[in-house]
Amino acid sequence: MQQLKGVGVALITPFKEDFSVDYDALTALIEHNISGGTQFFIVMGTTAEAATLTTEERNKVIQHILQVNNGRLPLVLGIGGNDTLAVKNQIENTDLSHFEAILSVSPYYNKPNQEGIYQHYKMLAQTGKNIILYNVPSRTGQNVSAETTLRIANDFPNIFAIKEASPNITQYFDILRKKKDGFQLFSGDDEYTLPVTLAGGDGVISVIAQAYPKAFSTMVNLAFEGKVKEAYQIHNQLVEITRLIFAEGNPCGIKQVLAEMGITKNIVRLPLVSASEGLKEKIKEEMKKI
């Protein structure tokens, strides 16, 4: 497995006005990120609006990313759900030869307790595939506690990392303090990237970085080098735009930023809607400052 460290970008799926996939824009986005210093890509994550893509569209988007990336950056594939057996079967029946790992979100909607979450990942671990656990309570309705994460990490070596997006930053620090050597933690919250990396994290799986890959990857590299003051200068420059892109949900905010840059159009599929006029104006003003 290629090492995953630094800035990983959760790619959006660009759409045209008729809501079909805009493959030219996807190509431009990939090239923008590779030239900007992004270190790996997440394919078919939440930010990709994977839930509203057909199976055929998902497969075509994956093939397009593979073709354009052409082995330049490591890739991680999002496969998750709230039917444990179905997720396990999907992992086992997907060609993963071009992917370093699976990013698999904890089960949503069902709201399993901590033992249920542990048993879910135990079953996924039986596939033998490299898996990144993804904790995002704001979407799943249930937090994966630090204790459960550490238990999973200790029991299943192929679950080698977590994308942690708990709103409670002390949970990140608890995992970093108590984890076994080699278990990786990526910030799943763009705004926490710098403090978490400085505390011993391995970087971020980011949304905002696909618009500002050079600045974001520079910030994370400075953090790895212990250059705290220089890293916080970049953090402070990007913190307002980072908050704005999530103000009305993801990915309508990041699509608006990318539309301002001329890379994609700000079109999302229902039940999501595009950024409001008020948010568009705020994003324009903040981008001028950057």
Q: Domains plus CATH for the chain?
A: 6-223 (3.20.20.70)
Q: Tokens 């904890």, residue?
A: 106
The verdict on whether residue 148 carries a ligand-binding annotation is: no
* pLDDT for residue 58: 98
Inter-CA distances, 269 with 19, 80, 255, Å: 7, 20, 12
Q: Does residue 149 have a pLDDT over 90? A: yes
Query: Does the annotation count 134 as an active-site position?
Result: yes
Query: Tell me: the pLDDT tens digits for 77-106?
Result: 999 999 999 999 999 999 999 999 999 999
Note the pTM of the prediction, 2 decimals. Answer: 0.97
Question: What is the C-alpha separation between 168 and 8, in angstroms, rounded?
Answer: 21
The pLDDT value given to residue 220: 98
178 is catalytic: no
Phi-psi region of 71 (alpha: psi -120 to 50; beta: other; left: phi over 0): left
Whether the pLDDT of residue 1 is over 90: the answer is no
Confidence of residue 123 (pLDDT cuts 50, 70, 90): very high
- Catalytic pick from 88, 121, 129, 134? 134
Q: DSSP of 205-216, one letter per residue?
A: EESGGGTSHHHH
Tell me the per-residue pLDDT of 7-35, one tens digit each, with 9 for 90 and over. Answer: 999 999 999 999 999 999 999 999 999 99
Query: Which residue out of 129, 163, 179, 282 is catalytically annotated?
Result: 163
Please indicate if the annotation marks 264 as binding a ligand: no
**Rounded CA separation 113/110 (Å):** 9
Mean pLDDT in residue range 251-280: 98
Res. 237 pLDDT band, cuts 50 70 90: very high
Does pLDDT of 208 surpass 90?
A: yes
Q: CB-based contacts of 173: which residues, under 8 Å, 6+ apart?
A: 199
The answer to whether the CB of 236 falls within 8 A of the CB of 215 is no
